[in-house]
Amino acid sequence: MGPVEQVVAAKYEAIAPFLDERQRRLWLGVEARALGRGGVSAVARAAGVSRTTVTAAVKELTDPGAGAPVGRARRVGAGRPPLVEGDPALAGALEALVEPATRGIRSRR
């Protein structure tokens, strides 16, 4: 890792715990743009993220409509779908594993 990447890595390590997913991505994009040519690769190596993530961040900075709407970390519909969509019986099976009293439901004795 070169000196520039070491500086970016130190900065990323210091700020990452305070940022949500979107803020972290935008910070990566700002750093990559500031470095200019080769910035995407340098930032990706320094932060341990994919070049695709940094490239998307740079694009989001250039075209705010390309990323998540303001107030959201991801675009609408992005992310993993709820497990109950793939297995509707899952919720009932999980509830059966836990006693009603544990869930705060009183028995009718």
Q: What is the largest CA-CA distance in the chain?
A: 73
Query: Taking Cα atoms as reference points, which of 50, 48, 51, 56 lies closest to residue 74?
Result: 56
At position 26, the amino acid (one-letter code) is L
Residue 75's identity, in one-letter code, is R
pLDDT of residue 92: 86
Domain ranges of the chain: 3-66
Say if residue 89's pLDDT is above 60.
yes
71: amino acid identity, one letter: G
Of the listed ranges 21-25, 30-34, 73-77, the one predicted with least confidence: 73-77
- Distance between CA 31 and CA 47 in Å, rounded? 11
Number of other CB atoms surrounding residue 104 within 10 Å? 6
pTM for the model stands at 0.60
